[in-house]
Amino acid sequence: MKSSSKLAVVIMAAGKGTRLKSSRPKVLHEIGGKPLLGHVIAAASKIVAPGDIYAVVGHQAERVKTAMASTGINFVDQTEQHGTGHAVQCAGKAIADYENILVLSGDAPLVRPETIDRLWQVHQAEKAAMTLTSAEPEQPTGYGRVLHKTPESKEVVAIVEQKMLTPEQLSLREVNMGMYAFQTAPLLKHLGKLTADNPHGELYLTDMAHVLSAAGERVVAFKTDEPNELLGANTIAEMMALDADLRTKTANRLMASGVTIFRPDTCVIDADVEVAPDTVIEPYVQLLGKTRIGADCLIRSYTVIESCTLGDGVIVQQSCVLTDSTVADGATIGPMAHLRPDSEIGEGAHVGNFVETKKAKLGKGVKVGHLTYLGNAEVGEKTNIGAGVITCNYDGVHKHNTKIGKNVFVGSDSTLVAPVNVEDGAYIGAGSCITKDVPPESLAVARSHQTIKEGWVAIRRAKQAEKR
Ligand code: UD1
Ligand code: CA
């Protein structure tokens, strides 16, 4: 969908978002697991290259720039925020060499690339100096209203903000959705004519409709039939409504591609999550960040998976927490397992209940069934880790590695004090505290010997009877 290099996109994102009552900049609030501005940039990047996108930032600008740096877009500073018209003035130098610009709001995250592209097509076909996006929502209150030359005309003479509406204009139903296309030359020629003669004392970009049309330039409206897409979020409650909407769309996208999601309304699935067909997701599952799940998997209730990659045929039982990890085909996890960052679970491996892993690489077919901690550890193929095994990876200052070979049997309740190596085929007796390397195919037992005192109970009982 990429358009000519003569087109730039300006995203207005400098506002404070006073109505959110939050210390975080408005455009960094998240819906669907991604900041509002991140959604808008993603949509705009389908129309022009990131190098042709300019975000106008002001309130906590550095924080916004840092959060969005990886997108590769440009930033323009609007140090003091004197309105949407002022925001575009601040971008004046940056856009001067482009023939046309599209202006988007950083707080309208549901906008689809298809809709932006339609605005762009209409703008070109109409040869307009300004094309604004309008709609007729059920509830027009609060929006700027669009005033046409005549009721039948496409051409617009002004946008009137809510607070400036005359009693007769209150009945106008067509509203300005806040997304525009401009020819750069007439825009820059007349942009300086904006005045702050309004209740907010701001320079309104919307006033360009009147300024341009009064200068004899053509201003038209592109009426969208999808006004919900351009809804802005001005309060947390409005934002959470957009979040619910977006997550419903994500769940529907996955279901349409062959994923079964029971009670999708209870699941929290971020916008960028991918799941292959025939995977089943039970109620109350969270799939977050850039999570990728293969085909034929089963993700059971109350599991939270964040930024993980799962192969095909993986089973994740109830109440597991998986973060920044990978799980290969056919592995089974949980219930109640915790894969912390940099865990790599091999093909067909089993990680059972109350097992925690961190920076741990488990080979093909490894079994670690119960109550275990594996940190900074590597475990070779087909090794069996008994119940209650612990890698003691931390000496209070540094982390150390534990390397366990293939086909090893680690008896239950053993502790492995790192750094330590257990070579292929070795056996470790239950209850051992292993502090030295274990050679291949050998048995290591490191526990105190058991003593038996036969008849001890009868003797003790007799002694107690004497005392009475
Ligand atoms: C704006 C329109 C209104 C339209 C509505 C659609 C104006 C004056 N009004 O109102 O006609 O119906 O959108 O949602 O444009 N911003 C800056 N710098 C500033 C001020 C704002 O970058 O100095 C950014 C904000 O961060 C925001 C966007 O511009 O992302 C829109 O500003 P906002 O204050 O939300 O405008 P609305 O009141 O929604
Ligand atoms: Ca807004």
Helix (H, G, I), strand (E, B) or coil at 177: strand
Structure-token pair, residue 204: 């309104």
In percent, the amount of the chain with pLDDT more than 90 equals 92
CB-based contacts of 310-317 (< 8 A; 24+ apart in sequence): 311/347, 312/276
Q: Give the closest residue (by CA) to ligand 1 atom 13.
A: 178
Across the strands, what pairs with 453? none
447, two tokens? 């526990």
Ligand nearest to C-alpha 178 = 1
What is the rounded average pLDDT of the residues 323-338?
98
Tokens 């003790």 -> residue? 460
The residue count for the chain: 468
Looking at this protein, which amino acid is placed at residue 77? Answer: D
Q: Is the pLDDT of residue 5 over 60?
A: no
Distance from residue 84's CA to the centre of ligand 1 (Å) = 6
Neighbouring residues of 223: CB distance < 8 A, sequence distance ≥ 6: 133, 134, 135, 136, 174
Point out the ligand nearest to the CA of residue 230: 1
Ligand lying nearest the CA atom of residue 55: 1
The position carrying tokens 């401009």 is 182
Angle (nearest 5°) at CA 238 between 235 and 242 = 135
End-to-end CA distance of the chain: 97
φ and ψ at residue 30, rounded to 5 degrees: -105, 140
CA of residue 232 to ligand 1 center, whole Å: 9
- Using CA positions, which residue lies closest to atom 3 of ligand 1? 144
Task: Report the distance separating Cα 269 and Cα 187, nearest Å.
Answer: 41
How many angstroms does the Cα of residue 178 sit away from the middle of ligand 2?
8
As for ligand 1, residues whose beta carbon falls within 6 Å of it are: 12-15, 56, 78, 81-84, 86-87, 105-107, 143-144, 159, 161, 175-178, 204-206, 232
Helix axes 36-44, 113-126, angle to 10 degrees: 50
The pLDDT assigned to 19 comes to: 87
Ligand 1 atom nearest to 207, measured from its CA: 8
Atom 22, ligand 1: which residue's CA is nearest? Answer: 14
Residue linked to tokens 């003091």: 80
pTM, two decimals, is 0.88
Instruction: Decide: 79 and 32 in contact? Cβ < 8 Å.
Output: no
- Please give the structure tokens belonging to residue 35: 């900041």
Tens-place pLDDT, residues 206-216: 999 999 999 99
Q: Is the pLDDT reported for residue 17 higher than 90?
A: no
Give the residue whose CA is nearest to atom 20 of ligand 1.
Answer: 83
Type of residue found at 268: V
Residue of 24, 27, 78, 84 best suited for mutating to test ligand 1, as the one with most atoms within 8 Å of CB:
84
Copy the structure tokens of residue 413: 């309740």
Q: Which of 436, 384, 378, 381 is nearest to 403 (CA)?
A: 378
Phi, psi (deg, nearest 5) at residue 40: -65, -40
Question: Distance between CA 276 and CA 279 in Å, rounded?
Answer: 6
Residue with CA closest to ligand 1 atom 12? 143
Give the list of residues 6+ apart from residue 196 with CB closer than 8 angstroms, or none. Answer: 82, 83, 202, 203
**Res. 2: pLDDT tops 60:** no
The minimum-distance atom of ligand 1 relative to the CA of 200 is: 8
Place of tokens 């009982």: 461
What does the radius of gyration of the chain's CA atoms come to, in whole angstroms? 32
Question: From CA 287, how far away is CA 293, in angstroms rounded?
Answer: 9
Of the listed ligands, the closest to the CA of 239 is: 2
How high is the mean pLDDT of the chain?
A: 96
Max CA-CA distance within the chain?
118
Compute, in angstroms, the gap from residue 122 CA to the centroid of ligand 1.
23
Based on the residue annotation, tell me whether 370 is a catalytic residue of this protein: yes
Instruction: Compute the distance from residue 112 Cα to the ligand 1 centre, in Å.
Output: 19
Q: What pLDDT is recorded for position 95? A: 97
| pLDDT (average), residues 161-179 | 93
pLDDT at 139: 87
DSSP 230: G
Catalytic residue among 370, 398, 400, 449: 370
Q: What is the pLDDT of residues 39-66, one digit of tens each?
A: 999 999 999 999 999 999 999 999 999 9
The CA 12 to ligand 2 mean position distance, Å, reads 10
Q: What pLDDT sits at residue 228?
A: 86
**Rounded (5°) CA angle 32-112-105:** 80
CA 216, 201, 168, 134 torsion: positive or negative? positive
Of the pLDDT bands very low, low, confident and very high (cuts 50, 70, 90), residue 1 is low
pLDDT in tens, 395-452: 999 999 999 999 999 999 999 999 999 999 999 999 999 999 999 999 999 999 999 9
3 has a pLDDT exceeding 70: no
Ligand 1, atom 28: closest residue by C-alpha: 105
Q: How confident is the model at residue 143 (pLDDT cuts 50, 70, 90)?
A: very high
What mean pLDDT do residues 255-259 have? Answer: 98
Cα 93 to Cα 70, 77, 121, 239: the distances in Å are 23, 12, 25, 33
